[in-house]
Amino acid sequence: MKKIILPLLVTSALSACGENTPLQTVDWYKTHETDRKAMIAKCEANPGELSASANCINAKTAENHLSVDKRSYPDLTPINPLQGGE
């Protein structure tokens, strides 16, 4: 049991040291355009290591939200067919 747990602890501790950038939220990236664009550029430059990181996902999600907001889609109310489609 100890032979399995020790390597897991060591690898998780070392992997946590990989990224020095503080974690930012989607809303933060929406309001900080230069940081958002810089993070997206950094993620696209190294997709193998960074594409699954939380900051890359949050920056790209913020960019997508802002793009959709520019399109000004109407706010649609879902229809529930079980209630007669009110």
What would the 3-class secondary structure string for 7-49 be? HHHHHHHHHHCCCCCCCCCHHHHHHCHHHHHHHHHHHHHCHHH
How far is the C-alpha of 18 from the C-alpha of 68, rounded, in Å? Answer: 33
What are the contacts of 40-49 at 24+ separation with CB within 8 A? 49/18
Confidence of residue 5 (pLDDT cuts 50, 70, 90): low
Predicted confidence (pLDDT) per residue in 50-79, tens digit: 989 999 999 999 999 999 888 877 777 888
CB-based contact 58:29 (threshold 8 Å): yes
The pTM of the full predicted model, rounded to 2 decimals, is: 0.62
Tokens of 45: 């430059």
Domain coordinates in residue numbering, the chain: 21-72
